[in-house]
Amino acid sequence: MSTTKPKLRIVPLLNPADLSGGPISLSAGFSIRDVTGLLTPETFGQFKRTLSEEDLERLLAWDIGVVHEFRSDLVIGPEEVTSECIMRLVIAALRWLQPTATTDGAISC
């Protein structure tokens, strides 16, 4: 029996394209889509001590994001590391195509 479960890595977009036609597929497992309702206060439960109410409200207000769908074990393992690395590269490529004022720091994977 497999112990893997579906997971999502989401990065918000500040100036998204019109998504009236549905998600925009970027590549295998990556899309730009409406993430309204995917994030709840429980999503950020482990960070509750370090998040202000204002920060939490801002995070819960995300509506459009780049989403990576993947499967992994119940613990954080190599799949999460790979997902984070690939997501950084996807976001870097999108910023190269359409620069924004946001930064993701150095890409090291």
108 within some domain? no
The pLDDT value recorded for residue 74 is 72
103 within some domain? no
25 within some domain? yes
87 within some domain? yes
- pTM score over 0.85: no
Number of domains in the chain: 1
Beta-bridge mates of residue 70: 7
Q: Are 64 and 102 in contact (CB under 8 A)?
A: no
104 within some domain? no
The pLDDT value recorded for residue 90 is 81
102 within some domain? no
Instruction: Supply the DSSP symbol for 62.
Output: -
Range of the structural domain that residue 25 is part of? 5-97
47: left (phi over 0), alpha (psi -120 to 50) or beta: alpha
Q: Are 10 and 38 in contact (CB under 8 A)?
A: yes
The pLDDT value recorded for residue 72 is 84
pLDDT tens digits, the chain, 109 residues: what are they? 667 878 877 777 665 556 667 787 877 788 888 888 888 898 888 888 898 999 989 888 888 888 888 888 777 788 888 888 888 888 777 776 665 555 555 555 5
29 within some domain? yes
CA distance 55 to 88: 22
Burial of 5 (0-12, 13-18, 19+ CB in 10 A): exposed
